[in-house]
Structure 1
Amino acid sequence: MSRRFLAGGRLLAFGNGSAATDAEHISVEFVHPVIVGKRALPALDVGPNFETRLPAILRPEDMVMGFAFSGRDKAVERALLMAEERGALTFALAGEVGAYPFDLPDEDPFVCQEVFEVLYHLLWETVHVYFEHREQGHDVGASSFLYPMLGKGEQRLEEVVREVQSSMLQKVEGVNSLRAATARTEAGTISEIAAAVSERLGRGGKVVAFGNGGSATDANDLVADCVDPPPGMEPVPAVSLSAEPANITAIANDIGAEAIFARQLIAHARPEDVAVGISTSGGSANVLAAFAEARKRGLLTVGIVGYDGGRILSEGLTDHALVVRSDYIPRIQEVQASIYHVLRGLVQELRER
């Protein structure tokens, strides 16, 4: 992938249903890196109707990634085969075709999504490492804290590969430890939230989710898991305010970025609804404004945040706050995905009683 980016290639990603939100997520990871000083690398979410769109934009030097978490997706497979025939480097997450096919790691689509989110976060990190290793020798700049072994003077690429592989395994162990620690501190709050959300849904309410950047794609994923859930689960009414580009850009242009969610809440929210804001920092101005508007209108408010909880926790800006106590955004997002998947499952269990 690093060689392809250096040759002018782009990463093109797609999927159906909730898997489409991971195409959105990996795109923003490469285009707008969370590490200050990292350059933007070209990546696109191909979007719906990807079988028609992909052939129109594909170039031989591109990389193509298809997401599917509920077994084989024929449309994704066809698109990957077409791309491979035209010279693209192809990845199936998961599937049986492409240059790099990955097996489903679990029968639970939620677990599959969580595993693959870790995978493509690690992929993003290591692409930058190898990209800079090739382009700048061993001066890895802002990547040094991710893979410190690369700053130790001259190393052969084979040695770098071995050490990066070892570091990736340590990071996987780290995110699993963070999940366990978060479960210990937040399990009671998650149960309380599930009961409160179920009560609101029973009154005819809906879930209204929102977030910025990678958290926007997580809001979209939560909503997809609600309205188009895996087999055996009942649909739950939900909307994502992060999935409305015309509204977002109109409001940002005419009023300001701080109003992009609050303005939409004014139009959509009812007192019986649930506002779920996802923020790694716990301090995004537009998320705070949305919670203020939601509370004014009587909505149940739930914050899923990182770091130390930010203003959302310290100022008590939501009815409930779930905190992933880490200072590294990809690991926070990976555990946040586990949180809302568990929450979605608990809501289903309560609705079945």
Structure 2
Amino acid sequence: MLSNLIDAHVRCLENLKTIAPDLKRTGALLLQCLLSGGKLLICGNGGSASDAQHFAAEIVGRFEKERRAYPAVALSTDTSILTAVGNDYGYDEVFARQVDGLGRAGDLLMGISTSGNSPNVIRAVKRAGSLGVKTVGLLGNDGGALKGLVDQAIVVDSATTARIQEAHIFILHYWAGQIEDGLPRNPGVQL
């Protein structure tokens, strides 16, 4: 059983080589957003919400290199906003309403969805587009509805949620490293 899971994991990650140019281009898009003074807004549900938090922490905090903080917000973390918007407007609006309040032209919204069909992520992406906020989808399966809605879609070719999530965190780490390599350093700052 363990050996089969490891083999499936390795195959899923090996498949990422086929989309390497898209991964690099998307990382450059994220970096450009930050260098231009924009912020990253990141949303997803369940494990994808955890990935959104994880990635935001690596942008605001750091990944592997010391540098100044950059703006990134996981839209799944404020329980008061989530419950108020969910109660007053419905759960499908919990991310879109935050995009309304936080998103500006020059920002970038990343929607993470293993199915590509999360209604609240779809609404957030549509709202972002109406505000001039660029959009990236980190998706799985066939990309779902989000694949055709985002400016840049990254689709992990797997139908297994666990393998998709494992690939997503690998991709997010790749982007965090790519971003850090392109950001200015803080000379003299030590860990």
What is the TM-score normalised by the length of structure 2?
0.92
Read off the aligned partner of 1:168 and give its amino acid letter. L
For structure 1, the residue ranges without an aligned partner over 5 or more in a row are: 1-166
Which residue is 2:162 aligned to? 330
Match of 1:206 among 33, 36, 39: 39
| Corresponding residue SS for 1:243 | coil
Q: Displacement, 1:231?
A: 4.4
For 1:63, the equivalent position in structure 2 comes to: none
Residues 1-353 of structure 1: matches in 2 within 5 Å?
A: 167-182=1-16, 184-234=17-67, 235-313=69-147, 316-352=148-184
**Residues 267-311 of structure 1: CA distance to partner in whole angstroms, max 9, x if unpaired?**
111111110110000011000000001111111111000011111
8 Å CA contact 2:111, 2:136 repeated in 1: yes
Q: Secondary structure at the match of 1:322?
A: strand
Name which of structure 1's ranges 302-311 and 341-350 shifts more when overlaid on structure 2.
341-350
Equivalent-residue separation in structure 1 for 2:66 and 2:160 (angstroms): 33
For 1:204, give the aligned amino acid. G
In 1, distance between residues paired with 2:66 and 2:23?
Answer: 19
Shift of 1:351: 2.2
Q: In structure 1, how many angstroms separate the alpha carbons of the residues matched to 2:66 and 2:179? A: 10
Identity percentage over the alignment? 36
CA shift digits 1:247-284 (9 cap, x unpaired): 11111111111100000111111111110110000011
- Provide the secondary structure at the position in 2 that maps to 1:216: helix
Quote the offset at 1:196 in angstroms: 1.7
List gaps (5 residues or longer) in structure 2: 186-191
Structure of greater relative contact order (alpha carbons < 8 Å, 6+ residues apart) = 2
Structure index of larger Rg: 1
Q: Could you tell me how far apart the structure 2 residues matched to 1:251 and 1:325 are?
A: 33
Secondary structure of 1:294 counterpart: helix
- Give the equivalent residue in structure 2 for 1:107: none
Cα-to-partner distance string for 1:209-262 (whole Å, 9 max, x where unaligned): 010011111111110111111442433210110111111111111111110000
Partner SS for 1:327: coil
Once the two structures are superposed, what CA deviation does each residue of 1:33-62 show, in whole Å capped at 9, x if it has no partner?
Answer: xxxxxxxxxxxxxxxxxxxxxxxxxxxxxx
Task: Classify the secondary structure of the residue corresponding to 1:321.
Answer: strand
The number of aligned residues is 184
State the alpha-carbon separation in 2 of the partners of residues 253 and 176 from structure 1: 42
Q: Counterparts of 1:205 and 1:344 in 2: how far apart (Å)? A: 16
- Report the Cα distance in structure 2 between the residues aligned to 1:186 and 1:286, rounded to whole angstroms: 26
One-letter amino acid of the structure 1 residue matched with residue 153 of structure 2: A
Coordinate RMSD, CA, aligned: 1.4
CA distances 1:61-101 after superposition (whole Å, capped 9, x unpaired): xxxxxxxxxxxxxxxxxxxxxxxxxxxxxxxxxxxxxxxxx
Note if contact 2:140-2:155 (Cα within 8 Å) is conserved in structure 1: yes
What amino acid is the match of 1:279? S
Instruction: Give the aligned residue type for 1:267.
Output: G
Structure 1 match to 2:188: none
Structure 1 residue matching 2:28: 3-state secondary structure: helix
The letter for the 1-side match of 2:45 is: N
| Structure 1 CA distance for aligned equivalents of residues 125 and 71 of structure 2 | 19
Which residue does 1:72 correspond to in 2?
none
C-alpha separation between the residues in 1 aligned to 2:21 and 2:33? 19
Letter in 2 for 1:351: L
Q: CA deviation at 1:352?
A: 4.5
**How much has 1:169 moved relative to structure 2?**
2.0
Secondary structure of 2:183's partner? helix
Superimposed CA distance per residue, residues 301-344 of structure 1 (whole angstroms, 9 cap, x where no aligned partner): 1100001111112xx20110111111111111010000111011
Does the Cα contact within 8 Å between 2:65 and 2:180 map onto a contact in 1?
Answer: no
